[in-house]
Amino acid sequence: MFVDEAIIYVKGGDGGNGCVSFRREKYVPRGGPDGGDGGKGGDVIIRVSDKIDTLLDLTSRVKYIAGNGANGKGSTKKGKDGNDLQIDLPRGTVIKDKTSGRILKDMSDVGETLVIARGGRGGRGNKCFATSTNQVPRQAEKGKPGEERWLALELKLLADVGLIGMPNAGKSTLLSRISAARPKIADYPFTTLQPQLGIVEMEDYRRFVVADIPGLLKERIGG
Ligand SMILES: Nc1nc2c(ncn2[C@@H]2O[C@H](COP(=O)(O)OP(=O)(O)OP(=O)(O)O)[C@@H](O)[C@H]2O)c(=O)[nH]1
Ligand SMILES: [Mg+2]
């Protein structure tokens, strides 16, 4: 078994700020407070998909940030909630908090979802602060920032194809030509000591995993 890895940063959207506003209408002098609440920041949501089978797609981007909530407006208009951001991961991905190394979740079922970074709550507008003794509240809340964290994603991979051959036969060279893997290549036997993994990309976005296997023990060769 081999491991495919990616490190990403996720952040929920910030909540929008609450608004300070007062009604201004014809024939309504000294209208009351009507500042709306800020919108909620979007969540970053992880979903297990059977359409992907490696973490390769995630490595093209590091930061995954959901949309911010909009600020509240006058006339008690609530700010729009920020858009959620969904990240699709292959089945079997283990999600770790990079800083603590703690396993957050082992995503095993297709369709399973997990909110990995919650968006911040929107701040309340000044309308919420009106009381019998304070009818002209000038305060409103600020939105809360979204959660943020660095994640280490690990996927245990099973190779589809194994390259088996005599030492120095050119196995690592082959792997380096058909995949993005960069194994050590040298003109002597037993250059490769650990299995090396590469992902071969074909047309139609199809892929398969190739393992360069050292495996053959010196003693056995020619024996
Ligand atoms: N002439 C020729 N040389 C090759 C070819 N493929 C690889 N080589 C050379 O053969 C040598 C060994 O290549 P590797 O890819 O390291 O071979 P390997 O099977 O991975 O070797 P080990 O990891 O040591 O078992 C290197 O010097 C390569 O440049 C080929 O098709 N033709
Ligand atoms: Mg090799």
* CATH number, domain containing residue 38: 2.70.210.12
* pLDDT 10s digits, 34-64: 999 999 999 999 999 888 877 877 877 889 9
Residue 34, burial from CB neighbour count under 10 angstroms (0-12, 13-18, 19+): buried
Neighbours of ion ligand 2 (CB under 5 A): 172, 191-192
Are 46 and 149 contained in the same domain?
yes
Q: Is the CB of 130 under 6 A from ligand 1?
A: no
Are 31 and 18 contained in the same domain?
yes
Closest residue by Cα to atom 11, ligand 1, is 187
Are 81 and 167 contained in the same domain?
no
Give the per-residue pLDDT at 123.
96
Task: Tell me the two tokens of residue 215.
Answer: 């495996």
Domain with 50 in it: 2-156
Closest residue by Cα to atom 32, ligand 1, is 170
**CA 31 – CA 207 distance, rounded (Å):** 65
Three-class DSSP category at 179: coil
Q: Is the CB of 195 under 6 A from ligand 1?
A: no
Q: Is the CB of 189 under 6 A from ligand 1?
A: yes
Query: Ligand 1 center to residue 160 CA distance, Å?
Result: 22
**CA 167 – CA 69 distance, rounded (Å):** 59
Give the per-residue pLDDT at 216.
61
Q: What is the pTM of this model?
A: 0.65
pLDDT band at 217 (very low <50, low <70, confident <90, very high): low
Are 28 and 44 contained in the same domain?
yes
* pLDDT 10s digits, 118-169: 999 999 999 999 888 888 899 999 999 999 999 999 887 678 899 988 888 8
> DSSP character for 168?
T
Query: Ligand 1 center to residue 186 CA distance, Å?
Result: 7
pLDDT band at 218 (very low <50, low <70, confident <90, very high): low
Phi then psi for residue 62, to 5 deg, are -105, -40
Are 127 and 67 contained in the same domain?
yes
Of 156, 184, 202, the domain-final residue: 156
How many domains would you assign to the chain?
A: 2
* pLDDT 10s digits, 89-113: 988 888 999 999 888 888 778 888 9
